[in-house]
Structure 1
Amino acid sequence: MGNITDDIRQHFDTFAALPFTEADSLTLSQLAYARMPDNVPRYHEDSADVSGMIPTVSIRDLLRAECYDDMFGKVWSPQMNVDLLRAMGESPRWRDLRVGEYVDEFDAETTKQFSACVFELGDGTLYVAFRGTDSSIVGWKEDFTMAFRRPVASQEAAVRYVTDIAGRWAGPIMVGGHSKGGNLAVYAAATVPGEIQGRITAVYSHDGPGFDEAFFDEDGYARIAPKIHKSVPGSSIIGMLFETREHVEDGYTVVSSDGASIMQHFALHWQVDHGRFVQADGLANSAQYLARTINGWMAKYDDEHRRRFIENLFAIFEAGGYVTFGELTSHVTQSLPVMLAAARSIDVEDRDVMIEVLKGFAATAATSVISAK
């Protein structure tokens, strides 16, 4: 058993032999982190092609060594992502895959970080993939923010993107993403018009943050809910934000990951065996504790108080002096005292729960030391 790259290299079933799986969705969600080279057709909302065509290029057109730095230089473990792309380009399951409609937008004023692309699977199905966040502390802060504020700019962009793509694609559509991308996939699928919802065959959220209770009560979510497949690693933190279900049988899959603590979030640490996730026994106690602590606290306060809490929490994480959670976890024994000291300046009404969150974070990091390629 290994990760999705290992599995692609070991098994050669076509989609005709082995239908699309959750692990396949994770593969496409991870590839969506790439900054696609110029030969991949771009999506332009204001001048979208209304001819009914989705322009795409073969995945083999991405296999350009001179582009790898630009494609993967900003993602966690660039070489692991290059290996995934090469494995897909060599595989009979993936080498006829086509990609297009790439969009990558950033707007500091609206805190908009939005990227998406589409993949033609070759059987008439289109997979819409939304990019997630990177391993930076700043990127994870956006995941926390999305869990209680909606719609954010990237969610609105996701709805427009799916709506337009669906208008130019006659076949079935799947939607998915990892981390923030999973949240965007669920939000878009639940918010597009009902006619488009009927054409969406599956929605995949791989460790994506959840939503407030009001969203779950909406008719659009109720219509799409049976098609949602959520998966999280055993030490999930991001995917458990506003998530009250803590067991596989309650609606999501807990996946075994060889990442340490918080870095189990990284999709290329998830374990796969012949196209299927290797399931863990359940959520780690530390992950359940963090979920109850954070979600229970947020349920008590309005959006403005939650916003201040998130700002303060991440200021404390940043006080450790590290840019990514991988670095922070690797040096938790040195950074935790600094973070606890920073927490003492927080208002007393928030301080206790914030310290509990930091202690819970330390508990998830105590099992092993991160090793990054």
Structure 2
Amino acid sequence: MHVPDGFINAPVSAVAGVVAAGAVAVSLKGARRELDEKTAPLAGLVAAFIFAVQMLNFPVAAGTSGHLLGGALAAILVGPYTGILCVSVVLLMQGILFADGGLTALGVNILDMGIVTTVVAYALFRGLVGLLPRTRRSMTAAAFVAALVSVPAAACAFTLMYWIGGTTDIPIGKVFTAMVGVHVLIGIGEAVITALTVGAVIAVRPDLVHGARGLTAPLKLRIDGELVDAPARESVTPAPAPAARSNRGLWATGLVTALVLAGFVSYYASANPDGLEKVATDQGIDKKTEEHASKDSPLADYGVKDISDARISGGLAGVIGVGATLVVGSGAFYVVTRRRRTKDEPAGGNTRTGEKV
């Protein structure tokens, strides 16, 4: 659903850019509460994973394909504020390096694909989790429904922006029907990918999943025939070591998966236009599409310039994209957590007494 330059007029694109910038600024502050040294590396990995999976277009109807938007997945795994930042990093990398999604439409895309999907999905997810038993199965089901709804919600958001600032005179009813219809189908694919990924991570490390906090019941001990809460384990020094190893293992597994998906599996993705491209062609929305400012990028259209073999060119571009997204995302989240630590530490004082050292 990457909106190119020329679909939405300049005033509406500018307003969307201001709203998106404000949302990113708020998310930077909110992410400080969601991230710590343990979860920040996962956030960078989530951004890279979303980039990789977005390269895997899947067929949804005759001549139409869809791909992951990722807002629901990111929000559930690392939190809604951090989720917005993850998707924003992906869209920025795609726009600058791969000429995917207009640069003047970057605000439109962040608002549509990043903010709307994340907010809608996480609000629905939290509502469902509050009604369902706190089990892995119910968490996975809630993730499925939240992801499913988030995609047509984004289609509605695009339709609203097009209604206000579309550059072609097309009946809005036709645009709405076509956009929502095809994106309900795409939402099913989004829901399957999101539910499988969330379920897999919860199965191995529920403590790292933002949306699954509190899923694991507290440890109980039987004393004199009664079950009581086990004492906290903060005082046990060796405990953090196994968790650190598990974090590295999960991170490495996720990175290898993203690289394989982008570098190899993406070659077999559907070549059909995605939902927005198909609707734009059928309805005439694309009559005033503008050339992308990065059309001469060496990675434009997800291929490496001057490499003729499509498999090698596309695979190498995918690997570069995963690496670039991981570096930029991880760097941003490292800065967020560093600022959190700096803010939490008393200025020039001891953490216990506040005395100068």
Instruction: Give the TM bin, normalised by the shorter chain.
Output: under 0.3
Structure with greater helix percent? 2
Higher RCO, Cα 8 Å, sep 6+: 2
Asked which structure has the greater CA Rg, the reply is: 2
TM-score (ref. length: structure 1) = 0.27
TM-score (ref. length: structure 2) = 0.28
